[in-house]
Amino acid sequence: MTTTLFHVSDIHFGAENRAALAAVEEAVAREHPDALVCTGDLTQRAKHREYEAAARWFASFDLPVLVDPGNHDMPYYNLWERFTDPLRRYHRLRAALGKPFASSDVVLVPLNTTVRAQRRFPWSDGVVTRRALAETLAALAELEGDPRTVIVTAHHPLLGPRDRGPNPTIGGDAAFAALARAGAHAVMSGHVHVPFDEVRERAGRPMRMIGAGTLSTRLRDGAPPSWRVLRCERGGRIESELRVLAGSADAECSGAFAG
């Protein structure tokens, strides 16, 4: 059997790309995936109206929707809320999504890489706290011996691009090694607005990193809006297909990896 996931990221409602959203809507209607996964930056400035737009869009799909928080999903203008309850609006949206996701082929385990403040500036890059990592590792421990493919979902990539320079995600190297050691086959993420799919290694532990692009108008490095289709089977097998919006047409490229 195969479970199909649509992986989107960095929609940035408030700066969304309507053509890209329409392409995803059409693909969902045509292909009927088992779930839609969004790895953060649902909004541009975490405004109420942006969350409302995100809620309407996700609710339009008749399938399970799983969302992670991104650095843009904490209030920018309400500092009191940012420092006392930074993910209040995100949690309200997630609770409203409703439909649970269960699969005999794949299990998704979230890892929160966002924090309300950092000792560096800007506060956009990721931080893996001890508490967040411990929660994810506890969930992975409960899956020991599970034959399904195990994918961790997070907003920030755990490692920098091809190990050039310091890792922008604080705690990412240790988290990568710990998750791989705990049995995760892959980490799905976003944040950088450029898609990637590669196998990396830390402390002798390899793991796959799969990144979706953006569905917003905030493009980087010449990469057009994009998302991924993941077809998952038991035992760590993940087939990844990149969908790229180029003008009014979608260009597609595919890749497969057996773990």
Give pLDDT tens digits for 129-177.
Answer: 999 999 999 999 999 999 999 999 999 999 998 877 899 999 999 999 9
Tally of residues, the chain: 259
Measured CA to CA, the distance from residue 8 to residue 155 in angstroms comes to: 11
pLDDT in tens, 67-96: 999 999 999 999 899 999 999 999 999 999
Stretch 31-56: mean pLDDT: 98
| DSSP assignment of 8-35 | E----BTSB-HHHHHHHHHHHHHH--SE
Residue 247 pLDDT class (50, 70, 90 cuts): low
pLDDT in tens, 190-243: 999 999 999 999 989 899 999 999 999 999 999 999 999 999 999 999 999 999
Nearest to 10 by CA among 170, 129, 124: 124
| DSSP assignment of 164-187 | -SS-SSBTHHHHHHHHHHTT--EE
Measured CA to CA, the distance from residue 90 to residue 41 in angstroms comes to: 10
What is the set of domains in the chain, with CATH numbers?
A: 3-258 (3.60.21.10)
pLDDT the model gives residue 98 = 81
Measured CA to CA, the distance from residue 170 to residue 88 in angstroms comes to: 24
- List the structure tokens of 162: 């091809």
Say if residue 250's pLDDT is above 50.
no
Which runs of consecutive H residues, i.e. helices, occur in the chain? 18-31, 48-59, 79-84, 88-97, 130-141, 172-181
Stretch 100-116: mean pLDDT: 97
pTM for the full model?
Answer: 0.93
Say if residue 251's pLDDT is above 70.
no
Measured CA to CA, the distance from residue 80 to residue 222 in angstroms comes to: 37
